[in-house]
Amino acid sequence: MIRSEQGWRDDMTTWTVDQGGAWWENGRLALIDQTRLPETFLVLYPDSLEEVADAIRQLKVRGAPAIGIAAAYGLVVALDEAAPSAAAEAWAVLEQAADTLRATRPTAVNLAWAVDRVLGRARATAPEDPAAIRGAVLAEATAIALEDRELCRRMGQFGVEALGEARRILTHCNAGALATGGFGTATAPLYALHAAGEPLWVLADETRPLLQGARLTAWELHRAGIPVHLIVDGASGVAMAKGLVEAVIVGADRIATNGDTANKVGTFNLALAAARHGIPFFVAAPHSTFDPNMATGSAIPIEERSSTEITDWRGHRLAPEGVGALNFAFDVTPHDLITAFITDRGVLRPPYTESIPAMLGAVTA
Ligand code: MRU
């Protein structure tokens, strides 16, 4: 693993917000180490399959589209590491790498979607030697990364339309640039409105236990000049009751064809609070986050992570010794609590059993 540490002043990095959290740079996969933000801006260049897989497991790269991009390029990293001498050997390396990458995190469907798409398209071009196979894999991974930037831009446009006059926006976790290959999903309309000179105010849930809202969303929005205040996760109800929230926008990790949506734990509670206050609740996600094989949310696998993420903070025990914790990393928001989906193909409204399959049927990528 090669590291490029720029410790840390904002003007010391050339990272731009449309660059996303993972990209290909001079023949290498580059990842922002999101566990180190906001204190340190560290770019990682993993040069083995295990390093890519570990970066995904440890949330150094995180967010559904970004882990899809990292996994897609991770297949190239696996080939470069193994240096196969024959085509059959190269395919075997890829199959094993695909299994390893798919198993790193279970909830975000973008991961398996990206891996399957790269392998499927690479096989379809019928390359005959390891160099040609690598070329085909890299070409498809690059297509996914570049497309994601465009999908974010389109979600921004459609999101502006969906938001209407709402300018006081609550968001959860980080569905921002760091989590994608571009401007983010939930943040894309925010960047678009800000660029248009619209006065915005964002409330960001801190997002226990790993503080993606406090560390990452606050970092990227503040850096872009968008006014942002943090609230603790449990404060969304009072913020809504005080009239501080005109709309909620969150991202998603997997969306069933009936609209049930898995996203960072706490999203379901937020949707309930929004419904109680009559506040529109939007989910912004590209087509790659919709799972055509999942009819309802009940079968979506919910990642459970180490209890120490809750009981400890960076090596310091917070909870009494001997007390356990249940660390569900995601929850499923029932479709009837979702006002609309902001996708790269347009704004989807209920009934989702009609609008989602219609949108997916139109997807050719
Ligand atoms: O555990 P994380 O930080 O990967 O969870 C991320 C989320 O829940 C995001 O909202 C989701 O992946 C969408 S990112 C555009």
**209 Cα to the center of ligand 1, angstroms:** 13
The minimum-distance atom of ligand 1 relative to the CA of 185 is: 15
- Nearest Cα residue to 203 out of 225, 228, 233: 228
Given the residues 205, 253, 291, 331, the one annotated as active site: 253
> What pLDDT is attached to residue 6?
47
Amino acid at 34: Q
Q: Which residues line ligand 1 (CB under 6 A)?
A: 59, 62-65, 108, 173, 175, 179-180, 184-185, 212, 251-253, 263-264, 329
**71 Cα to the center of ligand 1, angstroms:** 15
Mutation choice for ligand 1 from 264, 267, 269, CB with most ligand atoms inside 8 A: 264
Amino acid at 21: G
Digits of tens for pLDDT over the chain (365 positions)? 666 654 444 555 678 888 899 999 999 999 999 999 999 999 999 999 999 999 999 999 999 999 999 999 999 999 999 999 999 999 999 999 999 999 999 999 999 999 999 999 999 998 889 999 999 999 999 999 999 999 999 999 999 999 999 999 999 999 999 999 999 999 999 999 999 999 999 999 999 999 999 999 999 999 999 999 999 999 999 999 999 999 999 999 999 999 999 999 999 999 999 999 999 999 999 999 999 999 999 999 999 999 999 999 989 999 999 999 999 999 999 999 999 999 999 999 999 999 999 999 975 44
**252 Cα to the center of ligand 1, angstroms:** 6
Determine whether 33 is an active site residue: no
Strand ranges inside 41-126, DSSP E:
41-45
Provide the CA 274 distance to its chain's centre, in angstroms.
22
Strand ranges inside the chain, DSSP E:
2-6, 22-25, 28-32, 41-45, 168-171, 201-205, 228-231, 247-250, 254-255, 261-264, 281-284, 312-313, 316-317, 330-333, 340-343, 346-348
Mutation choice for ligand 1 from 17, 35, 62, CB with most ligand atoms inside 8 A: 62
Q: Please tell me whether residue 22 adopts helix, strand or coil conformation.
A: strand
> What pLDDT is attached to residue 17?
87
- Nearest Cα residue to 341 out of 147, 162, 113, 109: 162
45 backbone dihedrals φ, ψ, rounded to 5°: -125, 80
Distance CA 216, CA 63 (A): 11
> What pLDDT is attached to residue 7?
45
**218 Cα to the center of ligand 1, angstroms:** 15
Distance CA 230, CA 172 (A): 10
> What pLDDT is attached to residue 10?
52
> What pLDDT is attached to residue 127?
85
Residue nearest ligand 1's atom 10 by CA = 251
The minimum-distance atom of ligand 1 relative to the CA of 285 is: 15
> What pLDDT is attached to residue 296?
98
- Nearest Cα residue to 110 out of 149, 53, 71, 142: 71
Q: Please tell me whether residue 239 adopts helix, strand or coil conformation.
A: helix
Mutation choice for ligand 1 from 178, 253, 270, 328, CB with most ligand atoms inside 8 A: 253
Distance CA 290, CA 168 (A): 27
